[in-house]
Structure 1
Amino acid sequence: MNIIKCIGILQRYSSVIISTKRFMLKQSINHIMNKKVFDRYIRLPVPCNKVLATYFWIDGSGINLRNKDRILNCTPYTADAAPGWAFDGSSTGQATTANSDTSLKPCAVYKDPFRLEPHVVVLAEVYMGDGKPALTNHRKFCNDLCEFHKAEEPWFGLEQEYTMLDVDGWGLGWPKGGGFPAVNYEFSYCGVGAKYIAGRDVCESHAKACLYAGCDFEGTNAEVMFACWEWQIGTTIGIKAADDMWMSRYVMSRVSEDYGVVVTYHPKPMGAKHPGVGMHHNFSTKRMRSDGGFKFIEECIGRLEKNHMKHMKNYGNDEMTNRQRLSGKFETAPFDKFSWGMANRKASIRLPRNIKTVGKGFMEDRRPGGDCDPYLVCGLLMDTCLGSAPGGGSTKKC
């Protein structure tokens, strides 16, 4: 077969791939709806005493979000000003049909980046009919610890990795039929150019929406795997970083709806031969950040080592998928083995390179999977390093 015939076959094959990709994207009904028609209605003015409030919460899966809207007479600028609400917990995997009334307790209010001011988005905790937190409500556990250790001023910075998929479940921009991108991973990380990254529009739309909403949104970058990205929340004090992370996850769900893209936080979405997806947690306390704090950091690392498997059971929505991610490859530590080191991205706990020289700083816990609950991880870091809060409850798997 001569070179001209080969080129012709490759061109036809490429056109089939492109046509197939476009066809698959059009299967998202949200993506193909006429946004100009939607814009006509969303721009309609509403009475000055009517505010749309979108309540959202974590459902029984521990990772998926639900939401519903309520019309209020004025804008609630704080969680205390937002009224409580209820929903059918039996339809979200959180209650039985015979006892389905489940309560929503507002805990944070954000500006609505989709309807704009004066409308709001309300992050809510879920409580059962007996007044106890739902099984997937770990915010109370975390917040109790934040309040109990308030004098320690716990700071958290969260790094959420995620993968964009086409609606058929395959990587966005990946060749159809089980193929892999013809890109070395060394070029995708923080990459620029159509050959090296996919989905920048989603990433940038998400960033602007989170900033408008009021999240402590700190940055984004393309990750090592093609169509994999990361955004950062914090560093902020107390519960706010975890609240903002869940809000930014909600915003990502809404943005990806418009683009007809599926976003997954699965720790190992493309199999063993490709990098995984994590959520690194940066953590420090007043003692760690003060002169001589390195000694206390070493003490905390010792406590984390003793409680390694307790943490690992709670560092992802599914222990097995995070175990697949923490293989010792792709800048991860083995699941069953605790380690720490300076500037070491293959360690369970990484410390900044200059921390011993300056004698203070923070630690980065690299073990949590991308689908972890930051309330649970932040709570466990405080619980292990600083001590339990009186009557603070327990975690789901310990």
Structure 2
Amino acid sequence: MNKMPMSNFHVRLPLARTVVDQFMGLKPHPTKCLATYIWIDGTGEYLRSKTRTLNEAPKDISQYPIWNYDGSSTGQAEGRDSDTHLKPVAQYPDPFLGGQSRLVLCETYNHKMEPTKTNHRFKCNQIMSKHLKEKIWLGMEQEYLLLDRDQYPLGWPKHGFPEPQGKYYCSVGADRVFGREIIDVHYLACLHAGLQLFGTNAEVTPGQWEFQLGTCEGISMGDQLWMARYLLYRIAEQYGVCVTLDPKPQITSAYNCFSRSLHFHSFYLINL
């Protein structure tokens, strides 16, 4: 008997898009809130999420219930003490489900309610809270590369490399720009969610893009960056496309790749 292949990239994904569109076109429930809890997993780099129903949308982040998940499946707990807790810290309107639904960014805590090793937000927030009077303003640039599902850069020839760099940056045209549909939808979704998205552009490597966030004050910079990444992953998923934030993916060889820039200002610096 032949073994079933582990994956088959000839299958078109996402599956049954027209059926999905039919049901996603249903009117949102008038009162119930579908709260999607989002957290950083044990890698410190990737995101996880799950959704629950609340009778109504909480007006304040403190009104969201603490939830739990299996931390042994996300690299954040041992099997014998796998209960890991999600503490909501920021909420945003959900551009996918609409209505009263919310995207809820969470910190992670172990079974003793201690911050997990990848809960860097906890310590950062403690520091930021001590300097509220300084009004720390931040901006961030995030570069990324779009990949197809076999991890090859979007728009690249399968058995070679694209033409040399020079014509791709901020460009227009089917031979120069790949994945603009994803970028435009991501832009609109970020604005719907209330994120301070400043702008976006194609970068120097084909399939590479960048968005800018800010100006944000204090801890909200990190919160909005992670939420913008989540929206990007989700939207790319719907197109059957992957996203990497790797600053130098091996496949790109001699092509320039990513940087991530942070811009910092404070009330004290501006008024010196």
TM-score, structure 1 length as denominator?
0.64
Q: 1:150 to 1:36 in 2, by over 3 A?
A: same
One-letter identity of the residue aligned with 2:270: R
Distance 1:234 1:87 in 2: 32
2:212 is the alignment partner of 1:232: yes
Q: 1:158 — aligned with what?
A: 140
Distance 2:21 2:176 in 1: 33
For residue 246 of structure 2, what is the aligned residue in structure 1?
A: 266
Shift of 1:221: 0.4
Question: Distance between the aligned counterparts of 1:248 and 1:257, measured in 2?
Answer: 14
Question: Is 2:193 aligned against 1:213?
Answer: yes
The offset of 1:161, in angstroms, is 0.1
Deviation at residue 76 of structure 1 after TM alignment: 1.9
**Residues 275/78 of structure 1: CA separation in 2 closer, same or farther (3 Å cut):** farther
CA drift at 1:194: 1.5
Tell me how far apart the structure 1 counterparts of residues 9 and 190 of structure 2 sit (CA, whole Å).
25
Any residues of structure 2 matched to 1:1-398 within 5 Å, and which? 27=11, 29-30=13-14, 33-45=15-27, 47-177=29-159, 179-182=160-163, 184-269=164-249, 270-291=251-272
* Shift of residue 196, structure 1, vs aligned partner: 1.6
Q: Which residue of 1 aligns with 2:4?
A: none
* Structure 1: distance between partners of 2:28 and 2:155: 41
Cα deviations across residues 99-140 of structure 1 (Å, max 9, x unaligned)? 011110000001111011211111100011122111111111
Do the aligned partners of 1:27 and 1:167 also contact (CA within 8 Å) in 2? no
Letter in 1 for 2:158: K
Q: Distance in 2 between matches of 1:173 and 1:125?
A: 37
Q: In structure 2, how many angstroms separate the alpha carbons of the residues matched to 1:45 and 1:85?
A: 27
Does the 8 A contact of 2:43 with 2:75 survive in 1? yes
Give 1:225's aligned amino acid. Answer: T
User: How much has 1:197 moved relative to structure 2?
Assistant: 1.3
Question: Runs of 5+ in structure 2 lacking a partner?
Answer: 1-7
Partner Cα distance (2:252, 2:165) in 1: 15
Q: Secondary structure at the match of 2:166?
A: helix
Amino acid at match of 1:63: E
Q: Does the CA-based 8 Å contact 2:30-2:99 persist in structure 1?
A: no
Q: Deviations over 1:317-347 (max 9, x none)?
A: xxxxxxxxxxxxxxxxxxxxxxxxxxxxxxx
Task: Please state how far the C-alpha of 1:168 moved relative to its aligned partner.
Answer: 1.1
More helix by share: 1
Label 1:173 to 1:129 Cα distance change in 2 as closer, same or farther (>3 A). same
User: Is the 8 Å Cα contact of residues 217 and 234 (structure 1) preserved in structure 2?
Assistant: yes
How much does 1:277 deviate? 1.5
TM-superposed deviation, 1:154:
1.0
The amino acid across from 1:290 in the alignment is N
Q: Deviations over 1:44-89 (max 9, x none)?
A: 3465442211111000011111111100000123311211111110
SS of the residue 1:74 aligns to: coil
- Give the deviation of 1:43 after TM superposition: 3.0
Q: Which AA in structure 2 matches 1:287?
A: Y
Preserved contact between residue 75 and residue 119 of structure 1 (Cα < 8 Å): yes
Of Structure 1 and Structure 2, which has the larger fraction of its residues in strand? Answer: 2
Cα separation, partners in 2 of 1:25 and 1:290, compared to 1, 3 Å: farther
Residues of 2 paired with 1:35 and 1:64: CA distance? 25
CA distance in 2 between counterparts of 1:111 and 1:126 reads 21
Q: Residues 235-254 of structure 1, C-alpha deviation per residue, up to 9 Å, x if partnerless? A: 11111111011001110111
Shift of residue 186, structure 1, vs aligned partner: 2.2
Over the residues paired in the alignment, what is the CA RMSD in angstroms?
1.6
- TM-score (normalised: structure 2): 0.92
- 1:29: Cα distance to partner? 3.0
Displacement over 6 Å in runs of 4+: none
How many pairs does the alignment contain?
264
SS of the equivalent of 2:80 reads helix
Q: Any stretches of 5+ residues in structure 1 without a counterpart?
A: 1-23, 292-398
C-alpha separation in 2, matches of 1:281 and 1:147: 20
Question: In the aligned structure 2, how far is the partner of 1:47 from the partner of 1:186?
Answer: 49
Q: Distance in 2 between matches of 1:236 and 1:40?
A: 37
Q: Distance in 1 between matches of 2:239 and 2:10?
A: 10
The higher relative CO (CA closer than 8 Å, separation ≥ 6) is in: 2
